[in-house]
Amino acid sequence: MGNIVAIVGRPNVGKSTLFNRLTGQRKAIVDSIAGVTRDRLYGKAEWAGRKFSVIDTGGYIIGSDDVFEGEIRKQVQIAVDEANLILFLVDAEDGITGMDEEVANLLRRSEKKVMLVANKVDNAMRQTQSAEFYGLGLGEVHNISAMNGGGTGDFLDEMIAALPEDPEEEELDIPKIAVIGRPNAGKSSFINAITGIERNIVTDVAGTTRDSINTRYNLFGKDFLLVDTAGLRKKSKVHENLEFYSVLRSVRAIEDADVCLLIVDAERGFEGQDLAVFSLAERNKKGIVVLVNKWDLVEKDTHTAKRFEDNIREKIAPFSDIPIIFMSVLNKQRIYKAVEEAVNVFERRQQKISTSKLNDLMLPIIQATPPPATKGKLIKIKFCTQLPTRVPSFAFFANLPQYIKDPYKRFLENQLRQHYDFNGVPIQIFMRKK
């Protein structure tokens, strides 16, 4: 996992503006999770070749501008818990306020690396005024204007220099499996059921954040790493922001994994939040297995499972080629099957198809069903190859790649899925100029 930078400060000092500038206005990946993102609060940034993640802690604080000290405290607490570096944003227009002093006190006590950033410094007079922030006792004041970008280049150079070295991750060629899903769907009990059986932990892999612990297991002849994000938070801090934390944790567990086991509560069905977490995994191109837990509690008739499964596939379309397993953690029903399936998905995700085999299969199919002509021009696909990426990706070379639309790409993807087993694995189709 890379470094995490958190932005803290009282309302209206420009936290979201700075967040947007750092993440280049790219949609943060928490954009579709209902009820959490009044604001976008987690994004990725890169500067001078270093990648890092940014949290805007102000993005989820409930209550408008009259944020009370308690809320600010929570914000700072999250930053201290989650980040390697904290950016404390103050407003050069207003000067030091009581709330700034409050935040400064909390930060000084935290022993975390803090950079004090004075925003809205867009003229010489403000430059002079911003000197008063040295009075907060947090060292150097970095003057920027998040709105027009003034000073941000130098500030980013210093920020990158302040970040710890990116941890060296051990590259093991065994699946990293993350257990994800909404709170209370049974993630912890599933992990306990698996790991409690033969708790033969091989190693705690170095270089992982204390937020997601990668533990190596060997179970039923399968060797894998479990990315466990559950149970690391002291309960007292969690309850106000359970949803926020569970989202942030899912995001990071997903990024850190090869295959995600998405646990769904059978009694609640497959809901919006399940779909949001599913989409996160899919957008990150991770392998996915859906586990329907508490199946023992559902009233059944002959078609229940089939109906439930069809309903899920309908909601996750177009990417519905995934394993769905009905299980009961309580009765230890099919929980091994879940691990086995995750390892299988990992292996499918690794498969490489030779270029000659791929062309022998796909070119006749393309000839029989060519892409529809656009603007009277015939589109010809002459050649295809699998790209050397971690995620199965295929490039199709055409005379007019820009005219090939999504439905046809989906047709190609479905053909590949019919002939090769990519069950549970998102694949990417690229059109390139011949």
Mean pLDDT (whole number) for 354-368: 95
Q: Out of 29-33, 196-200, 422-426, which region has the weakest mean confidence (pLDDT)?
A: 29-33
d(CA 212, CA 1): 9
Task: Region of 65 please: left (phi>0), alpha (psi -120 to 50) or beta.
Answer: alpha
pLDDT of residue 69: 61
9 is in an annotated binding site: yes
294 is in an annotated binding site: yes
Give CA separation, 410 vs 28, 381, 394, in Å.
Answer: 26, 15, 12
6 is in an annotated binding site: no
Give CA separation, 180 vs 23, 227, 260, in Å.
Answer: 25, 10, 7
Q: Parallel, antiparallel, or unpaired for β 85-91 and 50-56?
A: unpaired
2 is in an annotated binding site: no
d(CA 287, CA 176): 10
67 is in an annotated binding site: no
| Report for 64-73, 120-129, 142-151, 407-416: range of highest mean pLDDT | 407-416
Domains and CATH numbers, the chain: 3-162 (3.40.50.300), 176-350 (3.40.50.300), 355-433 (3.30.300.20)
User: Model confidence over 106-140: pLDDT tens digits?
Assistant: 899 888 899 999 999 988 888 888 999 999 999 99
pLDDT of residue 214: 64
Q: Which amino acid is at 407?
A: P
Supply 71's token pair: 């809320």
135 is in an annotated binding site: no
User: Model confidence over 148-178: pLDDT tens digits?
Assistant: 888 888 999 999 998 887 655 555 678 889 9
Mean per-residue pLDDT of the chain: 81
354 is in an annotated binding site: no
pLDDT at 254 > cutoff 70: yes
Contact 262, 291 (CB under 8 A): yes
pLDDT of residue 228: 60
- Strand order across the 85-91 sheet: 42-47, 50-56, 3-8, 85-91, 114-119, 141-143
Give CA separation, 125 vs 18, 120, 122, 128, 428, in Å.
Answer: 21, 11, 9, 5, 53
59 is in an annotated binding site: yes
Q: Parallel, antiparallel, or unpaired for β 213-219 and 201-204?
A: antiparallel
Burial 358-397 (b: 16+ CB within 10 A, else e): beebbeeebeeeebeeeeeeebebeebbbeeeeebbbbbb
63 is in an annotated binding site: no
pLDDT of residue 381: 93
Give 78 or 62, the one with higher predicted confidence: 78
187 is in an annotated binding site: yes
DSSP 136: G
Determine if the pTM surpasses 0.75: no
d(CA 350, CA 197): 28
Mean pLDDT (whole number) for 273-283: 87
Beta bridge partners of 77: none
Give CA separation, 108 vs 10, 111, 146, 333, in Å.
Answer: 16, 6, 24, 51
Residue 403 φ then ψ, to 5°: -95, 0
Contact 80, 86 (CB under 8 A): yes
184 is in an annotated binding site: yes
pLDDT of residue 30: 39
pLDDT at 143 > cutoff 90: yes
Q: Parallel, antiparallel, or unpaired for β 381-386 and 393-398?
A: antiparallel
pLDDT of residue 33: 38
pLDDT at 397 > cutoff 90: yes
pLDDT at 314 > cutoff 60: yes
10 is in an annotated binding site: yes
How crowded is the C-beta side of 357, counted as CA atoms within 13 Å?
7
d(CA 67, CA 71): 6
Which residue, among 339, 345, 288, has the nearest Cα to 312 in the 3D structure? 288
Residue 139 φ then ψ, to 5°: 80, -150
* H helical segments located in 267-400: 272-283, 304-316, 335-350, 355-368
Tell whether omega for the bond before 318 is within 30 degrees of 0, i.e. cis: yes
183 is in an annotated binding site: yes
- Residue 199 CA to its chain's centroid (Å): 28
14 is in an annotated binding site: yes
d(CA 370, CA 224): 42
pLDDT at 333 > cutoff 60: yes
Supply 101's token pair: 């002093």
16 is in an annotated binding site: yes
230 is in an annotated binding site: yes
15 is in an annotated binding site: yes
Supply 156's token pair: 């980013």
Burial 151-170 (b: 16+ CB within 10 A, else e): bbeebbeebbeebeeeeeee
Q: Which amino acid is at 308?
A: F
pLDDT at 208 > cutoff 50: no
pLDDT of residue 181: 84
Supply 221's token pair: 């002849």
Q: Read off the pLDDT band of 68 (50, 70, 90).
A: low
257 is in an annotated binding site: no
229 is in an annotated binding site: yes
Mean pLDDT (whole number) for 304-321: 93
122 is in an annotated binding site: yes
Give 34 or 54, the one with higher predicted confidence: 54
